[in-house]
Amino acid sequence: MDSELNGAIESSVISPSFTGIEREIRKYKEVVPDGDWIKSQLAGENHLLEMIASGHSLRDVLDALCTFVEKTAPECCCGVYLIDWSGPSFQVGAAPSLPESYIEAVEGLAVSCEIAPCGVAALLKKQVISADLERDPLWKSTPYCAHVTAHGLRSVWSTPILSRSESVLGTFAIYHRKPSLPSRQLQELIAHITHIASIAIERSQAEAHLKRSESLLAEGQRLSSTGTFWWRVATDDIQWSEESYRIHEVALGTSVTFELLASRVHPEDLPRFMDHVERARRDTSDLDFEYRLRMFDGSSKHVHVVARSTRDRSEYIGAVQDVTDHRRAEQTLSKIRSELAHVARVSSLGALTASIAHEVNQPLSGIITNASTCIRMLDASQPNVEGARETARRMLRDGNRAADVIARLRALFGKKEFTVESLDLSDAAREVIALSSNDLQRGRVVLRAELAGDLPRVTGDRVQLQQVILNLVRNALDAMDGIHDRARDLLIRTEREAGDRVRLTVRDAGVGVDDKSLDKLFDAFYSTKSDGMGVGLAVSRSIIESHRGRIWASQNEDSGATFVFSIPSDGSSERRA
Ligand code: ADP
């Protein structure tokens, strides 16, 4: 064996019998002079790389690769076998010159050391050269040898195709009809070709992986009803993912413009939507808001958009999620809560029922008595028409009184929508003050509002709590109505209390309450006013208690009264309990 041959087989697992093969190798070297060989090899390799770069299919690239080798080193044929390691088994990647009957046997063949040289090459990550299968002790009496020789082939060189991370992607096999060994030049060609094959296979795998990732992403977006979008601020270029098109019910591929978006956004939400867009355009602030879409069939969708500007502030990348189901579930929940709260409210008012019955009974018995008097007066031999008219007037008065009681009670306890929300008591008080500003002005009241800005939030029914505050303010106004010798000072204060509670105080400079009345203020139908019903404070107490709070009153040291309620804040263990 000469030294060149030695060099050629250095890194190969090789079967021992190759006597007389040197001649073959010299033949190649003589046929193709070195300079042309390199030139044609480079051109061929470039062509293959161009095919990969221009997106030819893996099959086409591997076919061209085999054909190139078959032309460069005549009298051989080639095959590229890919490995599916889940089997593991071989799949024919390309073998343009091998007969179908040969290829069929390779497709699905197990990757194992016993079956074929390609299995050994793949498992040992080494080139396997069997110069003459019929004389090769390793393969000569195997079914493999019989299969190869039946197709007129005698020698097989199998080289593993390795990925960048050295994993085996497949094997590259060269067959000869005569016993053969590779020259150094052929080994170089094989090295280049397997490298190009590895690039082609890895690229095709990366593309398949990308396609899988894309379809997974699309599936994920579909499942979570979340689309993505990209917005270049300077040009208003907008791109949507497939799911974004689906959410907006716009035909896939339609060019997305702000006009299109504006036609989709619910008209009531459009000003707010445009405000957010303009703000984002101005100061590249994050987007995070909800709005409604109005669909063609007239239905609405709730969508939540979140977007961040890119580091160079030229673009926004964001997601838009269809939260319609979520909102509907919330509405249903809130309705159920409202019904529960209604039941709770009604039962907590159970104590009032007796007093209500009493209050309504009085005018009713008045009506009955007056009706009998009226009949008697009219039935008399000389009907007392004037008396009957008077008793009828009393009946009317009593009837109106009963109706009034019922109407006012219905207004107070009627089943209105009840929503529980997290709210800031200072905000709630501010709204009540705004609502009462006319009354305050008319009553010449000097208002001092000390509303804490950092109040812990409370969870409750905003409208109910505002009813309580309004009632306290109205009572304070009533109490100061007859005051002329001092300023009609009214203080409304909100503050944080120990134990995670918040407190609201209404302090007036009115007539005040004496010790005896203090006990009765919150009783139903206790009123010292000529037109009073005496239910405001009773209802206020029931509302505050349903918020797990307390309400009380005290006489001021100087003049007037102070009414206070205190309820647990969101952070309170009492609230969580
Ligand atoms: P109404 O206002 O219809 O009388 P309320 O339950 O609101 O019913 O009040 C009950 C009674 O409590 C009032 O009639 C009044 O005597 C007393 N009261 C309420 N607020 C004040 C106040 N700020 N100062 C003095 N007395 C008050």
CB distance 513 to 553 below 8 Å: yes
Which residue has a Cα nearest atom 25 of ligand 1?
512
Residue 233: how many CB atoms within 10 A of its CB?
A: 17
Select from 265, 272, 279 the least CA-distant residue to 233. Answer: 279
Which residue has a Cα nearest atom 7 of ligand 1?
536
Q: Is 338 in the pocket of ligand 1 (CB under 6 A)?
A: no
- 82-114 burial, b at 16+ Cβ within 10 Å, e below that, comes to bbeeeeebbebbbbeebeeebeeebeebebeee
Q: Which atom of ligand 1 is nearest to the CA of 521?
A: 12
How many helices (H) does the chain have, and how many strands (E)? 19, 18
Q: Is 118 in the pocket of ligand 1 (CB under 6 A)?
A: no
Q: Is 247 in the pocket of ligand 1 (CB under 6 A)?
A: no
* Predicted pLDDT of residue 17: 41
535 Cβ contact list (under 8 Å, min separation 6) = 352, 408, 409, 412, 524, 525
Q: Which atom of ligand 1 is nearest to the CA of 479?
A: 24
Q: Is 528 in the pocket of ligand 1 (CB under 6 A)?
A: yes
Q: Is 511 in the pocket of ligand 1 (CB under 6 A)?
A: yes
Q: Is 537 in the pocket of ligand 1 (CB under 6 A)?
A: yes
Q: Taking the CA of residue 553 as centre, how many other CA atoms within 13 Å lie in the half-sphere pointing to its CB?
A: 23
Q: Is 468 in the pocket of ligand 1 (CB under 6 A)?
A: no
Q: Is 170 in the pocket of ligand 1 (CB under 6 A)?
A: no
CA of 474 to the centre of ligand 1 (A): 9
Q: Give 366-369 contacts, CB < 8 A, sequence gap 24+.
A: 366/394, 366/395, 366/398, 367/395, 367/398, 367/399, 367/402
Q: Is 479 in the pocket of ligand 1 (CB under 6 A)?
A: yes
* Predicted pLDDT of residue 366: 85
Q: Is 561 in the pocket of ligand 1 (CB under 6 A)?
A: yes
β strands within 95-185, DSSP E: 127-130, 155-162, 168-176
* Predicted pLDDT of residue 356: 67
CA of 397 to the centre of ligand 1 (A): 24
Q: Which residue type occupies 253?
A: G
Which residue has a Cα nearest atom 21 of ligand 1?
475
CB distance 562 to 518 below 8 Å: no
By residue count, the chain amounts to 577
Q: Is 267 in the pocket of ligand 1 (CB under 6 A)?
A: no
* Predicted pLDDT of residue 380: 87
Select from 190, 232, 235 the least CA-distant residue to 9. Answer: 190
Q: Is 349 in the pocket of ligand 1 (CB under 6 A)?
A: no
CA of 575 to the centre of ligand 1 (A): 29
CA of 414 to the centre of ligand 1 (A): 22
CA of 487 to the centre of ligand 1 (A): 20
* Predicted pLDDT of residue 431: 86
Q: Is 168 in the pocket of ligand 1 (CB under 6 A)?
A: no
CB distance 468 to 482 below 8 Å: no
Burial status of residue 557 (CB atoms within 10 A of its CB: 0-12, 13-18, 19 or more): exposed
Mean pLDDT by 10 residues, the chain (577 residues): 37 45 45 67 90 93 95 91 93 95 92 90 94 90 92 95 95 95 89 95 91 86 90 93 94 94 94 93 90 92 93 91 88 64 52 63 84 89 90 88 72 58 94 84 93 94 87 94 94 94 97 92 86 82 90 96 96 59
* DSSP annotation of 455: P
* Predicted pLDDT of residue 21: 43
What is the secondary structure of 237-248 as a DSSP string? EEEE-HHHHHHH
Structure tokens at 547: 């918020």
Structure tokens at 205: 């795998």
Please report the sign of the dihedral spanned by the C-alpha atoms of residue 244, residue 250, residue 255, residue 260.
negative
